[in-house]
Structure 1
Amino acid sequence: MKRRLGWYIFGLAIVILLTASGCLAGDNNPSNEQAIEAEWQSQDNAEEPSAEVYPPARPLVLGFSQLGSESDWREANTTSIKEAAEEAGIELLFENAEQSQEKQFEAIRSFIEKRVDVIAVAPVVHSGWDEILKEAKQAGIPVIITDRSIDIDDPSLYVTHIGADLYEEGVKAGKYLLDKMRDQQAPIGFVELRGTEGSSPSIQRGKGFQNTITGHDEYKLLDSEAADFTMEKGKQVMKGFLQEHGSEIRVLFAHNDDMALGAIEAIEEYGLRPGKDIVIISVDGTRKAFEKLVLGQINCVVECNPLLGPNVMQAVQELAAGRTLPKRIVSSESVFTEQMAEKEVGNRKY
C-alpha cells in the first residue's frame, strides 16, 4: 500500500513538472505572443481617450492690416479675408489703416504685443517696411504680404507674398492697346490715371504698360497723374486732362476700375463718347466695370482677383503646421473685352 502511494506521488510530481515546463515553453509560442500583443493593444485602445475628452486647441490668431477701403475691389478683398477666416476657424484681428502706413505700423506692433500666430499685411506703399518687419521677426511671428508687394533689403523678413502679378497686368493692358489700335493713324495720344503715389500697383502696372508699348513711336503719352484709386479723384483728374488736351486723347489707361468709372463721367460731361471717342483700358474686374463693358463704355478690363482670403488662410494653417511656403503665390487672372463681357458679368462676385 505504501509502495503504491509512493508511485502515485511520484507520477503526480512528473505531471506538475511537465505542465509547468509547458507553460514556460508557451512564452515562446508565436500564437501566444500574438495573443499577448492583442491584449496590450486592446488595453491601449481602451485606455486612450477619445478626441472629445480634451477641449479643442485654441484657434489660430491672425492679425491682418488692411490698407483701406478706397474701392469696390478693396471692399471685396476685405470681405474675402473675413469670410475665409470664419470658415477656417481662424480668429481674425482686423485693422483698417485708412491709407496710412503709420497706422499699419501701429497695427503690426499691437499684433506683436498680443502674440498673434501670424501677421498679414496689405501694404499701402511699396517701401519703408524693413524696420517694422524686423520687429515681427524678432518676436518670432511670421509675416505674409498680401495683394501689393513691398521693396525691402532682406526678403527673409516675410515668408510669402500672395497676390497678383502687377507688372504682368500692365503688360496685358499694353498688349491689348497694341492690338486694338494696330490699324489706327498716328499719333495716338494717351493719358494714364495712376493709383496711390508710391504704391506697388501704381509703380508696377505703369512699368509693365510702358515697357510693352516702348518702341512703338505712334503712341504719345500726353499726361499721367495719380488719382488714388478712387472714383472721385479719377473724375477730377480726367476732367483736367480733357481741359488740357481735349480731342488729342484717344486712349485712357486707368490703373483700376473706380478711377475708370470716374473718368467715364468726366468724358461724357465733356461731350465725348467713352469707349468710342476714347478707348478705355482698366484693371480690376468689378461688376460695375463689367456693366460698362457690356455698354461698350470700357473696352478692356485686365482682371486683378481680390478674393485672396482662402489663399491667406491656407497659408496661415500651413505655417502653423511647420510647413514651408513658396516665396510667391500668384492668383489666377484673365483679360476681358467687350465681346466677353455679357457672358461674364453675371459671374462677378464683387
Structure 2
Amino acid sequence: MVREGVLQPAAAGEFIARNAHHVKIHETGLDKLCEEMLKSITDKLEIPDTGADIIHPNKDHEKAADWVFVADALNFCFWSYSGAQKWTVDGHSGYYALEAALARAIKNGVDITNPEFYSKITEDQLRNIMKGDNEATIPLFDERISVLHEVGAILLEKYNGTFVTCLKEANKSAVKLLEIIVDNFPCFRDEAVFEGQKVALYKRAQILVADLWNFFGGTGWGEFTDIDKITMFADYRVPQVLVYFGALSYSDELMDKLRKDVLLPSGSPEEVEIRGCSIHAVELLKKKLEDKLKGQDAEVPNSSLIDYYLWCYRRKYADDMESIPFHKTLGIYY
C-alpha cells in the first residue's frame, strides 16, 4: 500500500494495542476462543449457521461483482439504541436487512447495480428501496445517498461504469484492490490519528475484497493470490464476541459509557482502541490456530474467515451476548 505515513491495518492494530489505555487483549481469552473455534474445524473452518436465507444474484451473473460493490458501499451503521425498534426488511435486521432490500429492489426491476442510476438516485427512490417492515428507517439515510452518488460518479468517470474495471486493474491481488478502493473512493478511506500516528482500519474496503473472494468462491472475480494479507473487519459486533470470550476487556470508565449508550465519536481514542485491538486480537488468534493445526490436514483460516466466524457466532448466540454492551458510533466506516 502506498498511503504514505499511514500504518496499514495489521501494523495499525499492533500499534494501537501497544499504546491502548482503555482496552486490553488477554492471552487466556484468546486461548479460550481458539479452543472454541477448533471444534468447528475439520478440514476447514465451518461458519456458524445464522439461519438467514437471502437471495443473492448468481455468481455467474454479469452484474454480480457490481452487486457486491453496491452492497458493501452501503454496509455501515445498522445498530439501534438499547430497546429501540430495529430497522428490518422481510424479518431480517442489520446487514441482512440491507441484502433483503437490495434483492427485493432487483426483483422489482430497480437497476440498483447500475451507477448511471444510483449516482443520481433521489431520496424517494432510496426510501422506497429501503422501506422496512415497521416505522423504523435505515440509519444515516442522507449519508447513504451521498455514498451512492459519490461511488457511482467515480465509477462512471474513471472505471467505465463498472467495478469490474477495478478488479481487472488489481490483477488478482487483494492488496492492490484495497489500494485502488481507498485511493479512489473517499467514503472507504477509514483512517484515524492515534497517539500522533495515522492509522488505517479499512473495515468496508477490506470486507469488500473478502466478500468478493467469498461470494465467487475464490475463483473468477473473487480470485486473489494474497487474500491472507487482509485483516478482520473492525466493526461494533465482533469486539462484542471478543469481550464475551475474555479476549478483550474494557476499562471500567469505558464499560460504563457503553452500558449507558454513550456515543463514541468516530476517530476518538476509545473508539479507535476498540477497533484496533480487535484487529490485533484476531491476528494473534490466527497465529494460535496456526500453531494448533500444525501437522494436521486442515486449512488454517485467514483473518477474514475468522471474522465471518465471529460475526456469525454473535448472530447465532445473540441472546447470550446481550449482557455485553457494544460501542455505538455514528459514521459511514462500519
Report which structure shows greater RCO (CA 8 Å, sep ≥6).
Answer: 2
- Per the normalisation by structure 2, the TM-score is 0.23
- Per the normalisation by structure 1, the TM-score is 0.22
Please identify which structure carries the higher strand content. Answer: 1
Give the greater-gyration-radius structure (CA).
Answer: 1
